[in-house]
Every structure is written in C-alpha cells, then in structure tokens.
C-alpha cells in the first residue's frame, strides 16, 4: 500500500495554490506536510482525500489511479482539525454511521464499534454527545472513526492543534502507535515543527505551493537545502550571518561556542531553559542566538566561534544551498 | 444584576401583550355591548357558555386550524427546498436571494388585493386561462369548497420567504466539514440531507414552525381583503370572527371571549409542536 502524487497542480482562478507537486508515501510510512499557513499543505491533503479536484496531475492510492474517484469511494481515514463529529449523534452513533451507510449489518456494526471503543478507551462515553466531551476525548472519537473506515490512507489535518500543550505531548505516542500499527501510508499536516519531528518518518517542508525539501527530520535539521528550511526547522531559530560575495552563513544556536578568538559580542539577554540557557547576543554582524550549558556563567562581553563543519552556506538572493 | 437590563423589554411586553390579555380575559366574563350601553356588566360565564354552543365559532375554529395546518406545512416544505437551493453556490444567487424576499416585504393588503384580482371571475388571468383551454368558469372566490385554497395560495406566496430565510440562516450554521466527513465515511451526498442536514436544521425548523403557526392562527388581513370571510363564511377565521363581533355587532364581551379562546388554542397548538420536537430529538439538551 502506498500513495503517489504526480505533478499535482491546483489553482483558484489564475493563482496556483499547489503546483508541480510530486510525493510518494510508502507502506506504513508517516509523512508530515509542514509549512506556514497558506503554503498549500491543507489543499494537498484535500486533494488526496478527493474533497477537491486537481487541475493537473494524478493521485494513485494502493496502485490504483483515484484522481477522478469521488471521496465517497476513496477509502480515506481522515481526522479533521475540528474533528467534524456529528453533533446530533452519540459517540456510538457517530462511529456506527459510516458502517451503516456502507451497508454493514447491524450486529456486525455493533461488534466493530464496540471493539474500537474498547481500543480507544471510550466505552464509558459511548452514549454521550460530542458537546459533552473534552477536546482530547473528541480527538479520540475522530481517530476511532478513521480507524473504523478501514482506510487505504490516513490523512490527519492538524489533529492536535485544538489541544493544550500537555495533552498534545501525552497523545503523540498513542496516536503514533495507533496509526502506524497498520500498513497504510499516513499524511500528517501540521504547522508545528516539533509535532512533525515527533510524528513523522519524513517531513516535506512546503512553501508557496511547492515542496521546498523532503527528508527525515535529521536530514532537514543537519542538511537544510535552503535558507527557508534552515530557518523554519529548529528552535531557537538558526543564526544568519551575511558574509561577503552574496553568501549567507547559517549556524545553529547550539553550535556557537565561547572562544578566545572570534566575533566579539555583548550579552543582551539570558533565558534559562533548565538543561541549557539561551543567550541573546549583539555583535557587529547582527544579533545572535546561542545555546550553552546552563551552569556556565557568562560575562558581559564574550567572543564566539563555531566549528567550520557546522556552518551552512546559502546564496543570499536565491536562498539555495551554496 | 444583568436581569435588571431586561426590565425595559419585559415592561414593553407586559404593556403590549400582558395588559390586553388580562383586559380581554376580564372582559370575556362580562356583557359589554350596545344592549348594555357599552358598559361592562358581569355575566358569570354566559359568554363562554354561548361560545360552547356557537356553531359559527366551531366552524371558524375548524377553518382556522385547516388554513394554518395546510399553509404552514406547504410553506415549510417549500422553504426547505428554497433554502437548500439558495445555500448552494451558483451564479446569480445573490440576486435571487434578494428577489425571493420580495413577497414577504410587500404589505399584505397590497398583495392580497393582487391575489383577489388574479383569482377574479371572469377577468383574472386564471379564469382567462381556463377559458382559453375550454374549461367552464372556475369561480374560485365564490365556491365555498375551494375558496379557502385560494387564501392558502396567497399565504404561502407571502410567507414562504420568511421561513426560507430562517432555514437558510440555519443551514449556514452547519459546518461544511461535517458533510466532508460524511462523504469520506462513504455516505452519498443525497443521504446527507437526511443524516446531516435535516437533523441539524431541526431547531430552525421548530422556530419557523412556531413563528408561522402563530401568524397563521391569527390570520386576519389576508382573509379580510381577499374574501372578507366568504363565500358563506367558508374562509372566516377566528380573528375575523372576533373582529366582526366587536366592530359590526358591537358585542365587545363576546368578541373578547372569541379572542381569548383563539389565543388558548394557539398556545395549545404550539405546545403540541414543541413537545413533538422534544420527543424527536434530545441532542439540543445535550449541548446545554
């Protein structure tokens, strides 16, 4: 089972929202679409689901071209950002409705819903309505519904963005376990890079309707192919130092180190983070962010340097890796 | 504290609805007509006893209920269809939305006169058309068996936009991703009407039903202008009968009795509708 997008394009009027998009998600692989809002990641997801039709290109799911197949027949398990639970139905009826419209017998329906309720620890909530559930519970019901669909592909549209930070962290391993148990490809849309790194095998960073770079979290972090990816991935944000002949040097805050030789800096501000501390420095080449061990005491004026192999170089005008 | 802010509104309602209700209830237990020199004299329920044996009152009750049931049912069915249509995206929708409200914006008297002419024998377009295809004159406004249907047509034409507007507002509260989720579940777009749209529209259906029922039950102007209650009293409504008692027979005591009984019947009808909806759905309680 896999998912292939070939040369996908979608435009509204004359404006291309997504263009020349190629993507392959393998069996049991979780791919995150990551990017700022308006980059086309949600549009891409809707195209895969069949909720929107591409103007160009083709979509193949499990070896079958589904480009023109209606969403009704596409076998997609989708978790919406809003969860899209049916407010007039109980949790049980929410889960059973899909089975019912797909013509599954009542007794079988009951058995299947019961087993997924047990799996998701929702048995006690079966007779509640969505309005009576917490955000986390609603998310579990939405996920249960996607599981019951017996899909060929899982699509998750910002499934965590309506939850508080603590719950998000708690739910990540559970979500990962549940959706990656099967062999289906998973496409996970998010604007949160932490979530993308935690959930996905590979991340596609999107910008202006195109994939800027695609790779494992490690590849993106250590080997960003453009200035955009370098700045988008990694917090605190990477340092950008304009250098001679139209080159921008980029160094991660944790790779800066104190030294006797180097750029003279003045300490502006210090943030203690527990295991480390974040230093905001001012130099004649602009502001710098530096991460260092929390126990070191930092004087007012310092000199900093970095190992040359940790430095990335980008073309200032094109943003591409030099 | 916030309840204090309700006082002006409560006062207004008490003055406009409460006071007349109390006054008319009181009056319904008094004789107050030309025979008493227009002075209210207690008559110990004689008005109510008379009402019980008043054939005309019972006939008007039946006619009012028939008019309200048939016209409100037709209106709601049409309004659902129109609201669904106006909720879709298509070119020129904005213009059609505006135009579809016109009948409702027109004064009832004006449009009732219009309908009277449309149904006129022999000059109205309907009779002209009947003649053209070789039918006998229909005499729509002078046949006691069918005239009430003409008043239903007038009422449906006039008030369907109102119900459609409420339902359209209701449709727009249903998030689109519910439909998308339903399709992805394998649900057919046609099935979505019964599985998603109508259940979620239910509060708005109830609202427009109650609004329309109340208006149709108290129908006066349309009937007065179109038929004057005729022919042979076959379109007379309770409100019209109360009006005639007061203004033509100058019997204010009995007019108040008819009015109050009409009011009680309406409350009963609304209660019934409300109960039916309560039984049919419990999810709105869940939201509270």
**In chain A, which residues have their Cβ closer than 8 Å to the Cβ of B191?**
101
How close A130 comes to chain B (CA, Å)? Answer: 8
Q: Do A86 and B178 touch (CB under 8 A)?
A: yes
- Please report how the helices B19-27 and B252-280 are oriented relative to each other, as an axis angle in degrees rounded to 10: 120
- Identify the bridge partners of residue A211 per DSSP, sorted by sequence position: A206
* Domain assignment present for B75: yes
Any alpha helices (H) in chain A, and if so which ranges? 41-49, 91-101, 106-119, 135-148, 165-180, 193-199, 217-222, 227-232
Question: Residue B284 — pLDDT band, cuts 50, 70, 90?
Answer: very low
Has domain A3-228 been given CATH number 3.30.565.10?
A: no
In angstroms, what separates the C-alpha of A91 from chain B's closest C-alpha? 12
| pLDDT given at position B122 | 81
Per-residue pLDDT of chain A (322 residues; tens, 9 = 90+): 899 999 999 999 999 999 999 999 999 999 999 999 989 999 999 999 999 999 999 999 999 999 999 999 999 999 999 999 999 999 999 999 999 999 999 999 999 999 999 988 899 999 999 999 998 899 999 999 999 998 999 999 998 888 888 888 888 888 888 888 888 999 999 999 989 998 999 999 999 999 999 999 999 999 999 999 999 998 899 999 988 888 999 999 999 999 888 889 999 989 988 889 999 999 988 899 999 988 888 888 999 999 999 999 999 888 888 8
DSSP codes, B78-136: HHHHHHHHHHS--TTHHHHHHHHTHHHHS-HHHHHHHHHHHT-TTTSHHHHHHHHTTPP
Residues of B in contact with A97 (CB under 8 A): 182, 185, 187, 195
Cβ of B286 within 8 Å of Cβ of A82? The answer is: no
Q: Which residues of A touch B286 (CB under 8 A)?
A: 128-129, 131-132
Say whether pTM exceeds 0.90: no
Opening angle at CA B187, ends B183 and B191, nearest 5: 115
Check residue B285 and give its pLDDT.
Answer: 43
ipTM score for this prediction: 0.89
Q: What angle do CA A118, A140, B200 make, to 5 degrees?
A: 110
User: Total domain count for chain B?
Assistant: 1
Give the Cα separation of B53 and B64 in Å (integer): 18
Q: Which two tokens stand for residue A242?
A: 């304009």
Phi, then psi, of B270 in degrees rounded to 5: -65, -40
Chain B residues inside the 8 Å CB shell of A74:
184
CB contact under 8 A, A84 and B283: no
| B185 vs A: CB within 8 A | yes
- Out of 3.90.1860.10, 3.40.50.150, 2.40.50.140, 3.20.20.140, the CATH code matching A251-315 is 2.40.50.140
Residues 6+ positions from A166 with CB-CB distance below 8 Å: none
Q: Does B175 touch chain A (CB under 8 A)?
A: yes
Across the beta sheet with A153-157, the strand order is A76-79, A153-157, A186-190, A30-34, A202-207, A210-215
Q: Do A98 and B187 touch (CB under 8 A)?
A: yes
CA distance A172 to A136: 12
**B148 to each of A281, B15, B61, B218, B230, how far by Cα in Å?**
87, 35, 14, 15, 9
The domain containing residue B83 runs over which residues?
A: 61-280
Judge: B283–A129 Cβ closer than 8 Å, yes or no.
yes
Per-residue pLDDT averaged across B64-86, rounded? Answer: 94
How far is it, in rounded angstroms, from Cα B136 to Cα A242?
95
State the smallest CA–CA distance between residue B114 and chain A in angstroms: 44
Interface test with B, best of A78, A87, A99, A187 (most B CBs within 10 A): A87
Sequence-ordered list of residues with C-beta below 8 angstroms from that of B13, at least 6 positions apart, any chain? none
Chain A: give the shortest CA distance to residue B184, in Å: 5
Residue A149 to residue B177, Cβ atoms within 8 A: no
Contact residues, chain B, for A84 at CB < 8 Å: 175, 177-178, 180-181
Query: pLDDT value at position A171?
Result: 84
Residue A72 distance to chain B (closest CA, Å): 4
Q: Which of residues 224-283 of B touch A (CB under 8 A)?
A: 281, 283
Residue B109 Cα, gap to closest chain A Cα (Å): 42
Mean pLDDT of chain B: 89
Question: Is B52 within 8 Å of chain A by CB?
Answer: no
CA-to-CA dists, residue A122 to A126, A147, A170, A181, angstroms: 6, 14, 17, 19
Distance CA A159, CA A82 (A): 8
Domain of B70, CATH number, reads 1.10.3720.10
Structure tokens at A222: 């250590």
Considering only CB atoms, A132 lies closest to which of B181, B202, B286, namely B286
Contact A80 B281 (CB under 8 A): no
Contact assignment for A72 to B188 by CB distance below 8 Å: yes
Give the closest-approach CA distance of A134 to chain B in angstroms: 13
Identify the contact set of chain A against chain B, taking CB-CB distances under 8 A.
Answer: 49, 51, 70-74, 76-78, 80, 82, 84-89, 97-98, 101-102, 128-129, 131-132, 145, 149
- Closest Cα in chain A, distance from residue B200 (Å): 7
Per-residue pLDDT of B188-221, as tens digits, reads 988 999 999 999 998 899 989 988 998 999 899 9
Which secondary structure element, helix H or strand E, spans residue B167, and what is its range? helix B147-171
Distance CA B179, CA B172 (A): 12
* B225 and B113 Cβ atoms separated by less than 8 Å: yes
What residue ranges do the domains of chain A occupy?
A: 3-228, 251-315
pLDDT higher at B287 or B231? B231
- Which of B174, B181, B191, B206 would you mutate first to test chain A, the one with the most A CBs within 10 A? B181
Residue A292's nearest CA partner among A310, A317, A273 is A273
On chain B, the residues whose CB falls within 8 A of the CB of A101 are: 182, 185-188, 191, 195
B155-191 in b/e burial notation, b at 16+ Cβ within 10 A?
Answer: bbbbbbbbbbbbbbebbeebeebbbbbbbbbbbeeeb
CA angle B204, B208, B212 (to 5 degrees): 170
Do the Cβ atoms of A102 and B186 come closer than 8 Å? yes
Contact A71 B191 (CB under 8 A): no
- Coil/strand/helix, residue B151: helix
Give the count of beta carbons closer than 10 Å to the beta carbon of residue B36.
15
CB pairs under 8 A between A and B: 74
Of A169, A172, A177, which Cα lies nearest the Cα of A147? A177
**Residue A99: partners with Cβ closer than 8 Å, 6 or more residues away:** A108, A109, A112, A113, A148
Q: What is the pLDDT of residues B115-150, one digit of tens each?
A: 999 988 888 888 888 888 888 877 888 888 889 999
CA distance A121 to A124: 8
Segment (H or E) for B159: helix B147-171
Q: Please tell me whether the peptide bond between B189 and the residue prior to it is cis, using omega within 30 degrees of 0.
A: no
* Distance (Å, whole) CA A149 – CA A142: 11
User: pLDDT-derived band of residue B286, with 50, 70 and 90 as boundaries?
Assistant: very low
Q: Does B84 score more than 50 pLDDT? A: yes
Chain A interface, mutation test: which of B173, B183, B186, most A Cβ atoms within 10 Å?
B186
Question: Which chain B residue has its CA at the smallest distance from A88's CA?
Answer: B283
Of residues B131, B174, B126, B185, the one with CA closest to residue B153: B126
Strands A15-25 and A3-12 turn out to be antiparallel
Q: Does B211 touch chain A (CB under 8 A)?
A: no
The pairing of beta strand A76-79 with beta strand A210-215: unpaired
Interchain contact, A71 vs B183, CB within 8 Å: yes
In this complex, the residue of A78, A98, A129 whose CB is nearest that of residue B186 is A98
- Count of C-beta atoms within a 10 Å radius of residue B193: 14
């Amino acid at each position: 089972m896999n998912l292939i997008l070939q040369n996908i394009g979608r435009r509204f009027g004359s404006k291309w929202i997504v263009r020349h998009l190629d993507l392959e998600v393998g069996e049991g692989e979780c791919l995150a679409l990551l990017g700022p809002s308006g980059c086309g990641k949600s549009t891409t997801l809707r195209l895969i689901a069949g909720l929107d039709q591409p103007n160009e290109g083709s979509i193949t799911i499990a070896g079958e071209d589904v480009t023109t197949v209606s969403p009704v027949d596409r076998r997609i398990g989708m978790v919406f950002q809003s969860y899209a639970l049916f407010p007039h139905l109980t949790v049980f009826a929410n889960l059973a409705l899909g089975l019912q419209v797909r013509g599954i017998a009542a007794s079988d329906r009951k058995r299947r819903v019961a087993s997924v309720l047990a799996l998701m620890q929702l048995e006690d909530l079966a007779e509640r309505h969505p309005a009576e559930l917490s955000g986390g519970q609603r998310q579990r019901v939405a996920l249960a519904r996607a599981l019951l669909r017996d899909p060929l592909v899982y699509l998750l549209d910002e499934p965590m963005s309506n939850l508080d930070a603590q719950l998000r962290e708690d739910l990540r391993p559970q979500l990962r376990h549940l959706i990656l148990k099967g062999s289906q490809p998973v496409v996970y849309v998010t604007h949160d890079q932490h979530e993308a790194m935690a959930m996905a095998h590979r991340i596609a960073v999107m910008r202006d309707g195109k994939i800027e770079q695609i790779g494992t979290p490690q590849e993106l972090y250590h080997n960003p192919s453009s200035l955009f990816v370098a700045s988008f991935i990694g917090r605190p944000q990477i340092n950008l130092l304009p250098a001679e002949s139209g080159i921008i040097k980029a160094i991660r805050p944790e790779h800066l180190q104190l030294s006797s030789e180097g750029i003279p800096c003045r300490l502006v501000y210090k943030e203690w983070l527990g295991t480390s501390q974040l230093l905001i420095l001012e130099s004649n080449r602009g502001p710098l962010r530096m991460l260092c061990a929390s126990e070191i005491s930092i004087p007012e004026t310092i000199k900093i340097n970095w190992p040359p192999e940790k430095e990335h170089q980008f073309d200032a005008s094109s943003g591409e890796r030099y | 504290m916030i309840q204090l802010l309700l006082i002006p509104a409560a006062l207004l309602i008490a003055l406009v609805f409460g006071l007349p209700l109390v006054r008319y209830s009181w009056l319904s237990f008094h004789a107050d007509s030309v025979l008493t020199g227009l002075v209210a004299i207690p008559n110990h329920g004689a008005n109510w006893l008379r009402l019980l044996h008043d054939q005309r009152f019972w006939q008007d009750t039946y006619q009012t209920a028939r008019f309200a049931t048939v016209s409100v049912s037709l209106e709601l069915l049409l309004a659902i269809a129109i609201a669904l249509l106006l909720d879709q995206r298509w070119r020129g929708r904005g213009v059609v939305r505006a135009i579809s409200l016109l009948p409702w914006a027109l004064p009832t008297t004006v449009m009732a006169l219009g309908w009277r002419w449309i149904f006129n024998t022999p000059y109205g377009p309907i009779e002209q058309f009947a003649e053209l295809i070789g039918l006998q004159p229909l005499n729509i406004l002078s046949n006691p068996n069918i005239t009430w249907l003409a008043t239903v047509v007038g009422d449906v034409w006039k008030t369907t936009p109102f119900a459609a507007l409420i339902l359209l507002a209701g449709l727009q509260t249903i998030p689109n991703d519910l439909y998308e989720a339903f399709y992805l579940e394998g649900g057919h777009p046609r099935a979505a009407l019964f599985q998603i749209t109508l259940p979620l529209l239910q509060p708005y259906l109830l609202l427009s039903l109650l609004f329309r029922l109340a208006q149709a039950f108290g129908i006066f102007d349309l009937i007065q202008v179109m038929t004057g209650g005729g022919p042979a009293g076959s379109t007379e409504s309770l409100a019209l009968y109360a009006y005639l008692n007061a203004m033509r027979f100058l019997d204010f005591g009995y007019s108040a009795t008819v009015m109050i009984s009409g009011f009680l019947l309406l409350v009963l009808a609304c209660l019934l509708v409300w109960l039916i909806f309560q039984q049919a759905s419990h999810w709105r309680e869940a939201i509270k």
